[in-house]
Structures are given as structure tokens and as C-alpha cells.
Structure 1
Amino acid sequence: MKEVTVQELKHKIDHQEDFQLIDVREPFEYEMSNIDGENIPLAGLVVEASKVSKDKPVIMQCRSGARSAAAVMQLEQLGYTNLYNLKGGILAWAAEYDPDMQVY
């Protein structure tokens, strides 16, 4: 499975690269803290797969990287080849870039 670090994600954001960020956590988690990804909870991801781009890199993100890894695996079974897991999830982002972010 391909992964990106929070440093690589920050670089992409800072340089306005064309990619899609999808947060697969539940809505209540997303409301607590997020990094502006599109919220598509893991439980509904396959049903909502049409919202996931096939023509640019897609970074899947969750709290720690476990659910987003599961999301990558689910979508790869549907033929997606442009997916990346955010290593360490929002916990790694908060530790590296936003220590005041509310995490759980």
C-alpha cells in the first residue's frame, strides 16, 4: 500500500497540488477536528465511491491510519490505483503541525 507522510501532505497543500483528501472518520469525529478533507465515512465508502477521483492522487485519512488503510484496500478492490494512506492520520498531523488541535 502506498503511503504519504504528514510532511508530504503539508507540501502538497502548501504548493496547491491537485489531489483529493478524503477523511473516512465518522461525522462527529470530523466535526471535532479535520484538515479540510472531504468527509466520507468508511462504512459508506463503497456506496459513495463515485465521489472518489480516479484521475488524480487521492489521500485517505483517519485518526491513526488504520481505517484509511482499510479504505484504500476496499477501493483498490474496485480498481482504484491512485490511492495513498496518510501515515499516522490526524494524530500525526496534530503532533507535527497543529498541537492545539482537539484529538481523542
Structure 2
Amino acid sequence: MQELLEKNHVSSAELETLLKAREEGKVDFLLIDVREDMEYNMGHIKGVDMLRPTSTFQQWAQEIFDSYKDKTIIFTCRTDNRSGQVQQVFAQNGHSKTLNHIGGIVSYRGEIEK
């Protein structure tokens, strides 16, 4: 299970597995949705820990970077474009435990909350 968190990306199927494992206390990570409020309110992955829209990236990035420097963070969005950009910025600035959810919510087949 831990090996899934040691890459720089995670598929939707892997994210489902990781969320179940986190519920069971087997792994620990933070799942951050970087879509906008309206998109998030239309439906989001069950298990998202926080919404941090990319439109306000400059306002929250440093706080998240500093507060969770030693924690694995998975970024998700609609298709993986925005989450990939956020993950890349974090990685380029030295946060070695960030992953991008490949395919985003459009490829996710797990539980969605509204």
C-alpha cells in the first residue's frame, strides 16, 4: 500500500484503494481538491480533506506547503490538469511527498458526495 504513495501520481483505482486503506488506518495522506467552489459543490470525491481552488493558489500554497511538509498530499481536480500543475509546483519547491490524481474526478468510479 505504501508503495502507491511513493510515486508522483496515482490512478483513480489506486486512489479508491488508498482511501479505503486510510479509513482502516493503514496509510496516512491528505487529499486536496483544487477545483473551484462551484465544481466542488456539484460533486466531489468522498474523502477529500479540503478544497483549495487554484484561482486562489497564491493565498494558500505556502501555508499548505509549510503545514504539511512531512505529510503525503494527493491533489485532485476535474481531469488532472490543475492538480498536475499544483503537484509540480510543490515538487519543484522541495515537497517530495506530493502526488497528482491522474484522470481526476471524471475518471473516478468511487463514491462521490454532493
TM-score class, shorter-chain normalisation, is 0.7 to 0.9
Match of 1:77 among 74, 79, 92: 92
Q: What is the alpha-carbon root mean square deviation over aligned residues?
A: 2.0
- In 2, Cα distance between equivalents of 1:8 and 1:87: 10
C-alpha deviation, 1:22, in angstroms: 0.5
TM-score normalized by structure 2? 0.76
Tell me, what secondary structure is at the counterpart of 1:22? Answer: strand
Aligned pair count?
98
TM-score normalized by structure 1? 0.82
**Identity over the aligned pairs, expressed in percent?**
32
Residue identity in the other structure for 2:16: K
Structure 1: 5+ residue stretches without partners: none
Number of the residue aligned with 2:18: 12
Moved over 6 A (4+): none
C-alpha deviation, 1:18, in angstroms: 0.7
- In 2, Cα distance between equivalents of 1:62 and 1:91: 9
Equivalent residues in 2 for 1:1-80, closer than 5 Å: 2-16=8-22, 17-35=27-45, 36-37=47-48, 38-49=50-61, 50-52=63-65, 53-80=68-95
Tell me, what secondary structure is at the counterpart of 1:84? Answer: strand
User: Normalized per residue, which structure has more helix?
Assistant: 2
Number of the residue aligned with 2:4: none
Residue identity in the other structure for 1:20: L
Residue identity in the other structure for 1:30: Y
Is the Cα contact below 8 Å between 1:64 and 1:87 reproduced in 2? yes
